[in-house]
Every structure is written in structure tokens, then in C-alpha cells.
Amino acid sequence: MSKPKKERTVLPAKQNIIVLLGGARSGKSTFAQEFATKLGQKVMFIATGEPIDDEMHARNEEHKKNRPKNWRTIESPRDINTVLKEQMSNVDVVIIDCLTLLVANLIGDDVDYLKAEKKIMTEIEELIVSINASTTSFIIVTNEVGLGLVPDNKLGRIYRDLLGKVNQLIVQHATQVYFMAAGIPIKIKDT
């Protein structure tokens, strides 16, 4: 008599959550784009840079020119979760570039630490829930701001501290983390 076949449980594919961490002009965005092309054809790029002046507008336009034309680009300086809920169908890879500007946009000129912390951490926690509910690969770009001098003003210190908290939280959920230095990716986490 043969043994009954054991039913196999099929688990959903675990998505990649790749975090690219580094200083300004360290090559994070370029590496994110190269990495995305290896993960899939259908890429959604969420740009968090808000064109608040002519120089920032010119930067945003230059970044757009450097992206593949078939990528869907969505400019969302805040509330990324709404974008994900509304726009994420038929996407292989989502690039969020970057958490650094998202945190700055959420803080604005607010120097009330607790109020800013609540607003920012709520946004990031909702983002993590959205990511974890998906099987799409995510590439998240963010700056490491803890290697420099302590800012000389309260708003700068609040920003640095809150971005540090955001970075720590997001890398806890990441499957891979790269530290970028002068265009060289250094893998610091791989689970």
C-alpha cells in the first residue's frame, strides 16, 4: 500500500527589497537604474524630488532624460502609498528615489520633533506595509547622513535624526542593502 501523497504548500515568491544607501553623488541613482533593468522590464520610478526652485527643476529634468523611455515615472513628493495602491498593477520593479527628499518634504519647516516624527514614521510604516503586501521588487534609494558633522541648527538636527530612524527601519525589512561610495556598490546585507 502506498503512502498518501503529501500536499505541497506553495508559498508566494518573496520580493526583493533592495536599499541603496550612501552620500550625495555616490552613484545610488545610477546603480538603482542598472539594478532595475536586471530585475524586470516593467519599471515604475517614483521620484520624490519637488521642483521648488529653478535649480531643482533642472535637476529633475536631467534625471528624467537619463531614465529609459519605457519606464513609468511618477512624481510624488509625499504620500507614496497612494501612488502604490493606484499605480502598481503590471509592474516588475518599483524604484523609490529617494527617501532623503521624502523625509525633507514631510518635515517642511516643522521644528516640532514629535509632530514631524509621527508624520514621517506613519508614512514609512504604511510604505513598508504596502511593500510587504506585494511580490514586486523594490529598489529604495536613501542618503546616509550620519557620517557628517552635527548640523548647527535645530531643523537640520531633526532632519538628520529622523532620516536616520527611517533608514534603520527600512533596512530591517530589506533583503539586500548596498552602501555606495564613489560609484562602487558595497553589499552590507544579503538575506
Which residues are designated catalytic?
Answer: 63
How far apart are the C-alpha atoms of 25 and 34, rounded to whole Å? Answer: 16
Q: Which helix (H) or strand (E) holds 59?
A: helix 54-66
Cβ atoms of 16 and 175 within 8 Å: the answer is: yes
How far apart are the C-alpha atoms of 47 and 74, rounded to whole Å? Answer: 6
3-class state of residue 5 by DSSP: coil
3-class state of residue 52 by DSSP: coil
